[in-house]
Amino acid sequence: MSDYRRSQMPGGTWFFTVTLADRRSRLLVEEIDHLRHAYGQTQQARPFRTLAICVLPDHLHAIWTLPDGDSDFAGRWSLLKSTFSRQLPAHTRTQSKLRKREKGIWQRRYWEHQIRDASDLQRHVDYIHFNPVKHGLVERVADWPYSSFDRYVNNGLVRGDWACSTVADGGFGE
């Protein structure tokens, strides 16, 4: 197995993509209440700040900032994924998944990117909020209900018609 190294900046900010094993699944939006419960439980047990998030049917994107002196985002994702999975019946599992006590819901790995500066953060926030449009789930960013976009609008950080009045190319983020 490869020796994959992740950034370990205590108190840092990261962009994540976490994906279901079955990319055709709609499990995350169909079980949004279970996902919200798992997210809340994880945030309570292992605090972090969510700067932006978008839950799509088969994957989610989030930007987290960890507390000063803490760099364990991997432990948080493990807790969130296991808490969510325990609330659902097991899917068909391979011998490898059985040995590792996995239900086969999530992909084992996830994508993370350490945010470098304010411009990098803005590009990734925009990417997260535009993602439902990119995937053809809605025509307007404001129409997707499983996103932090409304929070950005309510806090006056963006207009409700952001990425609607002109054709957005989605050329931001990852």
pLDDT at 169: 52
With CA atoms as reference, report the closest residue to 92 among 102, 84, 104.
104
Residue ranges of domains in the chain: 13-115
Torsion of CA 44, 121, 23, 29, to 10 degrees: 50
Mean pLDDT of 46-57: 98
Q: How far apart are CA 108 and CA 20, in angstroms?
A: 9
3-state secondary structure (DSSP) of residue 32: helix
Is pLDDT larger for residue 127 or for residue 2?
127
d(CA 160, CA 129): 12
DSSP annotation string for 68-86: TT---HHHHHHHHHHHHHH
**DSSP-based three-state secondary structure for 66:** coil
pLDDT at position 104: 77
Which residues does 167 contact at the CB level (< 8 Å), separation at least 6? none
Contacts of 172 by beta carbon, 8 Å cutoff, 6+ apart: 122, 123, 124, 126, 127, 130
* pLDDT value, residue 90: 64
Question: What CA–CA distance (Å, rounded) separates 52 from 127?
Answer: 10
Distance CA 119, CA 63 (A): 14
- What pLDDT is stored for residue 42 in this prediction? 98
Report helix, strand or coil for 12: coil
| 56-114 pLDDT, tens digit each | 999 999 999 999 999 999 999 999 999 999 998 765 545 554 555 556 799 988 999 99
Q: Give per-residue pLDDT as tens, 114-139.
A: 999 999 999 999 999 999 999 999 99
H or E segment and range at residue 111: strand 111-114
pLDDT of 167 reads: 45
pLDDT beyond 80 at 157: yes
Q: Which residues are catalytic?
A: 146
Q: Does domain 13-115 have CATH number 3.40.50.2000?
A: no
Task: With a cut of 50, say whether residue 1 has pLDDT above it.
Answer: no
